[in-house]
């Protein structure tokens, strides 16, 4: 048995999951059950960090994955992002990396940098 707090809505239900059968209890809505099963079988997160930018006004560019990526890919993603050099100008939502470390998920800019 594994216990966790559901993060899908503000309720924060306390979930209990049988890892062998994937039976979930404690959820007050279907989202809790989906959340718990995903956490057990394939946990994912949105990665938010910064990348180096070549600009007259900024040295770091806030970036994030457009969608969640597997937790097991986080370390490789951070290593890849460490080696990225972005050239200004950049708009919010611009794709910095099309497919971050083979996840199929783009890395996007979250700040506008003009020069």
**Residue 100 per-residue DSSP state:** G
Alpha-carbon distance 12 to 6, whole Å? 5
Confidence grade of residue 105 (pLDDT, cut at 50, 70, 90): very high
**Residue 79 per-residue DSSP state:** H
Give pLDDT, residue 12.
Answer: 92
Q: Which pTM does this prediction carry?
A: 0.81
Alpha-carbon distance 105 to 74, whole Å? 12
Domain boundaries, the chain: 2-41, 48-109
Give pLDDT, residue 20.
Answer: 87
Q: Work out the percent of the chain whose per-residue pLDDT is above 70.
A: 100
**Residue 28 per-residue DSSP state:** S
Q: What is the C-alpha end-to-end distance of the chain, expressed in Å?
A: 53
Contact 81, 49 (CB under 8 A): yes
Q: Work out the percent of the chain whose per-residue pLDDT is above 90.
A: 79
CATH class label, 48-109 = alpha beta
* Residues 32-84 pLDDT 10s: 999 999 999 889 999 999 999 999 999 999 999 999 999 999 999 999 999 99
* Residues 89-104 pLDDT 10s: 999 999 999 999 999 9
Contact 69, 87 (CB under 8 A): no
Give pLDDT, residue 19.
Answer: 86
């Amino acid at each position: 048995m594994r216990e966790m707090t559901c993060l899908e809505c503000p309720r924060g239900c306390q979930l209990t999951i049988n890892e062998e059968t994937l039976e979930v209890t404690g959820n007050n809505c279907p989202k809790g059950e989906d959340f718990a099963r995903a956490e057990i079988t394939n946990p994912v997160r949105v990665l938010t960090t910064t990348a180096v930018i070549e600009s007259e006004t900024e040295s770091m560019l806030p970036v994030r994955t457009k969608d969640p990526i597997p937790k097991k890919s986080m370390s490789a993603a951070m290593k890849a992002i460490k080696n990225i050099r972005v050239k200004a100008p950049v708009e919010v939502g611009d794709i910095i990396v099309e497919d971050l470390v083979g996840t199929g998920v783009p890395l996007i800019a979250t700040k506008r940098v003009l020069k």
